[in-house]
Structure 1
Amino acid sequence: MIQNNWHSISFDLALKELNSNRDKGLAAAEVKTRQKQYGKNGLPEARPLSGIILFLSQFKSPLVYILLLSGVITLAMREYSESAVIFFIVVINATIGYFQERKTAEILGALKKLIKIKALVVRNGEERIVPQEDLVPGDIILLSPGDKVPADARIIESQNLRVNESVLTGEWLAVAKQNNALLVKTPIADRNSMVYMGTVTEEGKTVAVVTATGLQTEIGKLASIVRTTRDEKTPYQRKIENFSKIIAIVVLLACLIIFIGGVLSGENPFDIFLTAVSVAVAAIPEGLPIAVTLVFAFGVRELLKKKGLVRRLVASEILGSTSVICTDKTGTLTKAKMELKGIYTGDGKFLDRINQTGGEQIGLKLDSSHALALKIALLRSEAFIENFEEPMEQWVMRGRPTDKALFLAATEAGLDKEDILKEERLIGELLFDPQYKYSASLHRLPDKYVAYIMGAPEKILSMCKFADGSGTTVGFDTQHEKTLKEKYSLFASEGFRVISVAYKVIPEIDAMELSKLSLEENDKAIIYEKILDGAVFAGFITLHDPIRQSTREAMRICRQAGMKPVIITGDHKFTAKAVAKELDFNIKEENILEGKDLDEMSDVELDKIVNRIHIYARSEPRHKIRIVSAWQRKGEVVAMTGDGINDAPALKKANIGVALGSGTDVAKEASDLVLLDDNFEIIIVAIEEGRKIIDNIRKIITYLLIGGFTEVLLIGMALL
């Protein structure tokens, strides 16, 4: 099974290559054979450092090595009290670092949620539930809404399947899936004939054949990249190495000068040697390691109070040196959930939703045409609230993201679905299907029958002959239709998801025909479409993934502090550009680069243009690592933020990785800083704290060096 391009071959050929059967699946004996061949379907977990290893790792510093050497020398000179003080300082320094990092590991461990995933498979011709780790290539799996995909698989059959792949690709909208073969070079984000381990089915059902398990899955490959990616040394670590070398050289030169000067002055060579060694010990700032560790520890404590969890003490200093912030879009800059953006009605009125932080709700500005469009969307929404009696912030809402966003927006606007249905009784319904791209419902009013329609804009526009204008209908002419299509294209180019709503008053004879239909949905759709022809266009409804509160202000502060923010996302460039504009980026086409174009570039070519690229769209994990590396080659200190599995390799490659507390465990494990409440503003607080740490360390070094080298100068002058 060397095949890597399962998306580009037919499902029949995939079944043949995997030696599997759609109806019977694998036999029990074959499953055991393949389990021995491929191993468990899981990712290897890194063993946590033992207490001893974690403690000993605190001694990895050139300055500590110099102190230990000083302690040994003073011990050999029988200066027991002096050596005891030096060793005590080294041990205390290591102890503080040990307890701080162990505390961080314990908090991070508490954040992890260990969920045992089960998979529904077909084996020996029977459906059965098995643990995810028991799956093997060739297994036939069955997926339903809400299921987490247990392994990479090629789709055999698909019924309205939509999968949320944000943890893998960064794209926040669920992706429609089908079973047709695709081109070999199709990027992961567009491989609609595949489902991938760790992603979640939002709606529909599918039958698929497992093509890869464990480390051979796309997520497994990411885990391998993370394990092989080297941690970059922090600016502090590099500076302390250079500082230690300078200290050692200066002290040795001073001792040599004192020794030679003393001998030339007629002093006893042995006595002057002991004096020179004593001077060397006195010159070494033995208080520096513990002072620096305490500065780091206090800084980390302050960050934790503000919901920033630093996993390594020295990482708190890196943010103070950060010059470039590479950030994921979905879930980091944005909320990773759909909300209503605005409503454009048939008479050309656009209502742009005011953010709740602005103090207003959409309901305060609804006129009759906007209310009509939102009412139609509410009636066609299949979302529902499980605990309606609870306060709104505690609601548990079920349904597709689009339906939930429409239901919530209409409810905030004061519309009540149950009250509307009491006045407009539902007597017939056509559910949405990607094949005909719309849904419809038939309602009985006191004096008429009305059909409400919602679906893809191009489909709804093709069904309409009129447009609604604040209660009156006007006929469609060529110019009117052109204007609406241009408006739809504009909304789409700005990265919004657009749906369209319409209605039609139905003659009673047609209404009775529709209400009595008991056919399959596809056959019903043909009759519905015939009767609904000539509908009245009610409006476009735009939806988006809103940016997080305070993100715009955080970005402004970043720029003021001299840092360059860069957006790296798996989403489309139009969506990324729309978010960037909201965050006050000055974006032109030359400032955007897509993953497919990056693939055509060498590292040298990337280095030439990296300064002018603000947005990287349709990016895959390998692209993110290349972008971070390009900035590092320019001598920049790079922070990378993210929450998905696809962000983990870049989080580890960056000088400092910043993960969201709500992100995946893989991302948090690869990071240096975890934002416990997902607030991007914490990064700004961390940067300010990091700069305070740098300033305090400079003061400490200056103070200790002045004291140490004053002693050297006085003794040297006295001898000479």
Structure 2
Amino acid sequence: MPTAIILSQCSGEQIDERKEKKYCWSSAASRIQASFVVFIIHIFVLNSTSKKQTRLGPPTLLHIRVQYYSSIYFVLFEFMYYWSFLTISISTDHVIETSLAERIEPTIESANDNFHMWSRDDLFLRFQTNQTTGLLIDQILQFEKQYGENKLTPPKKPNYIWIFLSQLLTGFNIFLWIAAIFAFLAWKPFGEPDPQIANLALGILLCLIIFLNGILDSYQVIKSIKIVASFAKLLPTLTTVRRDGVEQQIIAETRSSCDGLKVNNANLTGESKAVSCTTECTHTIMLESKNIVYCSSIVEQGTGEGLVIATGDRTMIGRMSKLTQGKGGDEITGLHREFNRFLLFVCVGTVIAVAILWITWGAWLQRDHPTFVSYNNNIVNSVGMIVAFLPVGLPSCVTFVLTIVAKRMYRQKVLVKSLQIVETFNSVSVIATDKTGTLTQNQMTVTHLLWDLDRTLALPSIHSNGPSSSQQLNPSDRNAIELIKCRASSTTNVSIEVIHDLLLGACLCNNAEVQLVANVELGGNTVDMVRETKIVGDAADTALYNMCSRACHIDMIETRSKNRRLQVLPFNSNMKLMISANKLENSPSMVLILMKGAPDYVIQHCSTYKTNQGDVELLTNEIRQMIVKRQETFGKDGYRLIALCQRSLEENEFNEYVNANHSDRLHGFPSDNYTFIGLYALIDPPRDEVPDAVLKARHAGIRVAMVTGDHPTTARSIANQVNILSSEISLNNGIDTFQSTKDQNGKIIVDLYRNDNLLEKHEVAHITKHDLNIREGNHPDGEKLPWYKRMIGSCKNNFSDPTSGNANEGVNRMNYIPYGVVVTGCEIENMDDYMWDWVLSHQEIVFARTSPEQKLSIVTEFQRRGEVVAVTGDGTNDALPLKYAHLGVAMQSGTDISKDAGDMILLDNNFSSIIRAIETGRLVSDNLKKVAIHLLPGGSWSQIWPIFFNLWFGMPLALSAFLAITFCMINDVFLSLAMANEKPERDIMARPPSIRSQDRMLNLRLLFHAFMLAGNAATFVGFFSYCYYWIDNGVPFYSFMFTFEHFGKDPPLPQSPEELRRMTSTAQSAYYCSTCIFQMINFFATRTRYASIIQHNPFWGKSRNWYVFLAIIGSTGVQLLVTRLVWFNNTFQTQPIPVKYIVPTIGFGMLWLLIDELRKLCVRKWPKGILAKIAW
């Protein structure tokens, strides 16, 4: 919606001013670049100093080492310090305050020439339009050329080169740069006077790998950006305008200045801090004037028309966008934190390993075995150690998995706004869902008219054949009523007068209307706009419109034109009613006031009721109870009932009453002495697939709570039909309820009932209103913390969820109360923490007659008790719950505000799509864990032990730095990408939701399996092939163990030093190939957490994964290339491997696969046993 001057309004129109949340990320790319410059300067100084010292004379070894150590360590410390700022984010609230208004106001007013102070005639003259016709078609192209499209200038597109450079300098690539620099230093100057070309080649190889990783990561990042951007194009914003005198819906971007805009209020309900709007200028400052509305405004109630005076960047929101552009960022999600923790683990592990390496060398080897490992060799070992700890394939796999999942979810009719939010699905423990349109088919139909105490008229189907449009009827025509009676499937004695009142009320007290609508049809990645006439309005109004026009063949346009509307109070979800005032065709001096809404709310305004004979009788308490009983009777069958009452006044009396009471709750409408007419019975059948989806959610440990504005009886009936109140629990065990009353001292006493039997009495304590900082972890009251506390908090935010401290463990997920509970909105107001604990501990929960504020309270109370909440919503009233829930699920059919607030959008408005999305989120979490547990054993554990064995046991190095790098950077990456494509296991929806504070991607159980089990197995296999080669070639075990610098000399060996170097290279190649082959077999053990390979085989069925065979072919090809190509043999000292040294690895691998299958069998058979407790 652009900036618009209000031309006219109906009673109660109010605009809500909202806050916007922005997230600012601090980037340290320039600091990193600076640190590289410092690094280069240090190296230049080091080289210069070295040359100068050579000219002046040989310095002492200690002097050189201290000089190099101090400089390098200083630069590394500086580099790591700058790197630590890469992921720091500080969240701030940007609220439009006086200071911001002062910054924006001059530009806005200069752009719009203070139009809010102009008269209506001057505005129409200035913009060449009028209120009746709006823009003419010929003017539209002219204004589009003059003002452009109605959209904000988008932020600058991400620079692909900058993305590539940032990928080179972040994440694991930082460690690779350090390793590459060490490799170059090991070549020169540390390798002088006899520099080894292998160290230079190693440094070049690391640089190539860094660039290849940067290209791959950049490709995945750019691809994910394009996917999310393409999703946004699939959801165009539609708006209603008047052009050539016809109201029609268009894409908001094509709206031009001067379109007479009518605010649609079908889905709009109450918000706090509203501002009453007028048609006159109330302040010289545009921001303070009440006759202008802005793009971010929300109509609370009432309707009005506005003249569009600014679009795109010339609007207020456009000016604000320019002030804040470039300051936004993504929220840190659980996936970010998991990756940061993984990075921290790698960093700490690398530092500890390298520190042990140098302490061992400096404190022992340099003193006792000075010629065994040279200073230069230890630098190369450090390079291998750094690379060994890096699961380089993980970042690419993360982005790769999310990209695949985003496309898969789109095929399942789910759009995600951020790829990182997908991981949140794994933790969802509660789904708070609407009823209409989500659980039901959103095809609400009026089936019965009810009046008096027992009268019912079953209406014909809307698909029944009837008179053509030329034969349409009028509700005031008595013959028309007789025709309706004859066509209805009822034998009840029907009162013509009462039916007339019910049909006339459905026609007049109704905001639904026929409009020219641009329907959005999604096909692939394109959007097709198909224009057609459609009834536009909320579900109930649309059902009543259809009843009149299609079931009863009433001419709605003629009826409304003959009974002109004077004033209207649109439906409000807090009052749950709508009121309209119309001048009657047959009584020009009379005004008919119609009130329509929830029966229990409408009946409070009634003092009489109309009988079947047309008599008006006193509405006694006994009659009220009988009406309520009828409502509950129909409600038990899933019907939603809407009540209608009316009151007639003289026009003069009505005007006087409105003027005298304009500011009251009903905006001038009378609040009492209405006559109750009858009830409309509507039904919206549940979707066929929802009951099974709810059962699937319960099987997955996810509770589904219904939150609806319907009557408790109707809500309970629908909940029974869709298994939210299941036969296993609610029907067999029973339903809990409670009622609250006040005693003589004014204290609230709550009676808790189980199956209508008193269970407990509770005196309500102080009711605390909790703030809304649950999701964001903001400091209460906007208090500004000291800079160092903000920095510490930001650092913590990168590694742990700040909201975890807010979670109260009042709800134990394993000990829910095995009963259902039904709670109404009026009871929510009297609930203290004890009552919230009691209600939210139930297995099955239904909230009925709830308001938007109460829905938000339900979300925050769930969150305070440690639950991860997904909330569905489609109206403006759902914006705050969608925003503050962990996962906001908006509907495609919902309002733009709800879709903007949600994290994902259901294109088919189907509850079952949420369950499929949760399954996909669990798959993401599972696959990332599988990637991590696959990379750690071979890529980390089996790579560091050859270095430690070399130092501690005095044996030749079992794995060269080049082969370790090749294994980590190439072989393992092939298999990890294949692991990212794994299909879900059979029990993926049989496990309870992940607990964020406990189920980490890296936890002790996963590390134990990766290192102690799979890692040690891989290390054993590698050393077995290594030792097997030496022993088989005449070098006994004692001849290469604990020999240190005496290898080949003591005890003496017949081989020459050159031949021993060649044999060492062959043994290293044997270790490398063995671990590669073992990882291929270990892939089949790792691809399932609990399921057997037979149940989840990769060859056929739903679990097939043919990418693994491509990965095996690629990994085998790399092994052959590295070990058999002469250039690699000469440059990196590799050698071909006879097959007999590799064959035992296959046997050991199959044995490991069998052992792991037995472990999984034990876990499945004894889920509470020791193996199950330590299973990853």
Shorter-chain TM-score range = 0.5 to 0.7
Return the alpha-carbon distance in structure 1 between the equivalents of residues 163 and 425 of structure 2. 23
SS at match of 2:418: coil
Q: Find the counterpart in structure 1 of residue 233 from structure 2.
A: 109
CA contact (8 A) 2:451 2:679 kept: yes
Q: Describe the shift of the 1:400–1:220 C-alpha distance in structure 2 as closer, same or farther (beyond 3 A).
A: farther
Offset of residue 689 of structure 1: 0.7
Q: Find the counterpart in structure 1 of residue 410 from structure 2.
A: 304
702-711 vs 52-61, which deviates more? 52-61
Does structure 1 residue 260 correspond to structure 2 residue 359? yes
1:103-135 CA-partner distances (Å, limit 9, x unpaired): 220231242247696799xxxxxxxxxx99979
Q: Find the counterpart in structure 2 of residue 154 from structure 1.
A: none
Q: Find the counterpart in structure 1 of residue 349 from structure 2.
A: 250
Return the alpha-carbon distance in structure 1 between the equivalents of residues 926 and 329 of structure 2. 28
Superposition pairs for residues 73-222 of structure 1, below 5 Å?
73-74=182-183, 77-78=199-200, 79=202, 80-113=204-237, 147-149=261-263, 164=265, 166=267, 169=270
Q: Find the counterpart in structure 2 of residue 701 from structure 1.
A: 932
Within the candidate set 374, 387, 391, 1:281 is matched to: 387
Superposition pairs for residues 434-473 of structure 1, below 5 Å?
466-467=611-612
Superposition pairs for residues 567-716 of structure 1, below 5 Å?
579=715, 582-583=718-719, 584=724, 609=833, 612=839, 617-619=850-852, 624=856, 637-643=868-874, 651=882, 655-665=886-896, 667-668=898-899, 671-708=902-939, 709-716=941-948
Q: Describe the shift of the 1:41–1:83 C-alpha distance in structure 2 as closer, same or farther (beyond 3 A).
A: closer
Return the alpha-carbon distance in structure 2 between the equivalents of residues 628 and 215 of structure 1. 37
1:480-517 CA-partner distances (Å, limit 9, x unpaired): 74455545887999995624499xxxxxxxxxxxxxxx
Return the alpha-carbon distance in structure 2 between the equivalents of residues 565 and 26 of structure 1. 53
Structure with bigger gyration radius? 2
Offset of residue 317 of structure 1: 1.7
Offset of residue 285 of structure 1: 1.3
Letter aligned with residue 399 of structure 2? T
Within the candidate set 680, 683, 687, 1:541 is matched to: 680
Return the alpha-carbon distance in structure 2 between the equivalents of residues 385 and 607 of structure 1. 48
Return the alpha-carbon distance in structure 2 between the equivalents of residues 648 and 10 of structure 1. 19
Does structure 1 residue 47 correspond to structure 2 residue 155? yes
1:548-596 CA-partner distances (Å, limit 9, x unpaired): 7755655554444334556788xxx6669965873447775789xxxxx
Return the alpha-carbon distance in structure 2 between the equivalents of residues 582 and 431 of structure 1. 38
Return the alpha-carbon distance in structure 2 between the equivalents of residues 306 and 556 of structure 1. 19
Offset of residue 540 of structure 1: 1.7
Q: Describe the shift of the 1:601–1:645 C-alpha distance in structure 2 as closer, same or farther (beyond 3 A).
A: closer
Letter aligned with residue 611 of structure 2? F
Within the candidate set 326, 339, 356, 1:240 is matched to: 339
Return the alpha-carbon distance in structure 2 between the equivalents of residues 461 and 718 of structure 1. 93
CA contact (8 A) 2:11 2:302 kept: no
Offset of residue 247 of structure 1: 1.6
Q: Find the counterpart in structure 2 of residue 128 from structure 1.
A: none
Return the alpha-carbon distance in structure 1 between the equivalents of residues 376 and 217 of structure 2. 34
Superposition pairs for residues 447-526 of structure 1, below 5 Å?
466-467=611-612, 481-483=623-625, 485-486=627-628, 498-500=642-644, 522=651
Return the alpha-carbon distance in structure 1 between the equivalents of residues 852 and 325 of structure 2. 17
Offset of residue 675 of structure 1: 2.3
Offset of residue 102 of structure 1: 0.9
Return the alpha-carbon distance in structure 2 between the equivalents of residues 633 and 525 of structure 1. 50
SS at match of 1:368: coil
Does structure 1 residue 368 correspond to structure 2 residue 467? no
CA contact (8 A) 1:454 1:460 kept: no
1:346-401 CA-partner distances (Å, limit 9, x unpaired): 35267999999xxxxxx9994234987878755765488799xxxxxx99444766
Letter aligned with residue 680 of structure 2? I
Return the alpha-carbon distance in structure 1 between the equivalents of residues 343 and 391 of structure 2. 10
Q: Describe the shift of the 1:208–1:386 C-alpha distance in structure 2 as closer, same or farther (beyond 3 A).
A: closer
User: TM-score scaled to structure 1, two decimals?
Assistant: 0.60
CA contact (8 A) 1:551 1:681 kept: yes
Return the alpha-carbon distance in structure 2 between the equivalents of residues 9 and 524 of structure 1. 20
Return the alpha-carbon distance in structure 2 between the equivalents of residues 242 and 647 of structure 1. 34
Offset of residue 337 of structure 1: 8.1
CA contact (8 A) 2:13 2:277 kept: no
Q: Describe the shift of the 1:408–1:201 C-alpha distance in structure 2 as closer, same or farther (beyond 3 A).
A: farther
Letter aligned with residue 948 of structure 2? G
Does structure 1 residue 561 correspond to structure 2 residue 700? yes
CA contact (8 A) 2:426 2:921 kept: yes
Letter aligned with residue 688 of structure 1? E
308-317 vs 646-655, which deviates more? 646-655
1:517-568 CA-partner distances (Å, limit 9, x unpaired): xxx9949999xxxxxxxxx998421458887775565555444433455678
1:591-621 CA-partner distances (Å, limit 9, x unpaired): 9xxxxx8868797999774765676954469
Return the alpha-carbon distance in structure 2 between the equivalents of residues 541 and 497 of structure 1. 6
Return the alpha-carbon distance in structure 1 between the equivalents of residues 323 and 895 of structure 2. 16
SS at match of 1:562: coil
Q: Find the counterpart in structure 2 of residue 717 from structure 1.
A: 949
SS at match of 2:262: coil
SS at match of 2:612: strand
Return the alpha-carbon distance in structure 2 between the equivalents of residues 55 and 371 of structure 1. 77
SS at match of 2:611: strand
SS at match of 1:111: coil
Letter aligned with residue 612 of structure 2? A
User: TM-score scaled to structure 2, two decimals?
Assistant: 0.40
Q: Find the counterpart in structure 1 of residue 1125 from structure 2.
A: none
Q: Describe the shift of the 1:51–1:666 C-alpha distance in structure 2 as closer, same or farther (beyond 3 A).
A: farther
Q: Describe the shift of the 1:74–1:83 C-alpha distance in structure 2 as closer, same or farther (beyond 3 A).
A: farther
CA contact (8 A) 2:608 2:617 kept: no
Return the alpha-carbon distance in structure 2 between the equivalents of residues 226 and 646 of structure 1. 28
Return the alpha-carbon distance in structure 1 between the equivalents of residues 922 and 502 of structure 2. 50
1:426-454 CA-partner distances (Å, limit 9, x unpaired): 9x975676688689889xxxxxxxxx998
Return the alpha-carbon distance in structure 1 between the equivalents of residues 343 and 454 of structure 2. 70
107-116 vs 378-387, which deviates more? 378-387
Q: Which has the higher contact order (CA 8 A, sep 6+)?
A: 1
Offset of residue 293 of structure 1: 2.4
Offset of residue 637 of structure 1: 4.3
1:406-437 CA-partner distances (Å, limit 9, x unpaired): 3434677x65558xxxxxx99x9756766886
Q: Percent of aligned positions with the same letter in both sequences?
A: 23
Letter aligned with residue 262 of structure 2? K
628-637 vs 300-309, which deviates more? 628-637
Q: Find the counterpart in structure 2 of residue 406 from structure 1.
A: 544
SS at match of 1:164: coil
Q: What is the number of equivalent residue pairs in this alignment?
A: 591
Q: Describe the shift of the 1:525–1:170 C-alpha distance in structure 2 as closer, same or farther (beyond 3 A).
A: closer
Return the alpha-carbon distance in structure 2 between the equivalents of residues 628 and 547 of structure 1. 24
